[in-house]
């Protein structure tokens, strides 16, 4: 995955199952399971099949977000 692709994914407020598939190289079913695992810890959106990007960062303990999103 290129930096531009990753930046496009993380420029949104939420991640979809398809985004998780691309980011982690998972099948659809495994990506859906990963989203459910993240939601068990935190679910800011409350929308099935989507997670807030902040929930993703917290789940994976990512504190340096500059690597994922270009600061304006």
Instruction: Tell me how crowded residue 58 is: count the other CB atoms within 10 A of its CB.
Output: 15
Q: 10-46: per-residue pLDDT in tens?
A: 999 999 999 999 999 999 999 999 999 999 999 999 9
Cα angle, residue 51 at apex, residues 3 and 15 outer, rounded to 5°: 30
pTM above 0.75, yes or no: yes
Residue 51: pLDDT over 80: yes
């Amino acid at each position: 995955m290129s930096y531009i692709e990753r930046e496009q994914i993380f420029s949104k407020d939420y991640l979809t199952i398809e985004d998780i598939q691309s980011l982690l190289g998972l099948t659809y079913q495994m990506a859906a399971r990963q989203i459910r695992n993240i939601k068990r810890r935190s679910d800011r959106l409350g929308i099935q099949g989507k997670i807030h990007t902040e929930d993703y960062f917290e789940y994976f303990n990512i504190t340096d977000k500059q690597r994922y999103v270009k600061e304006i």
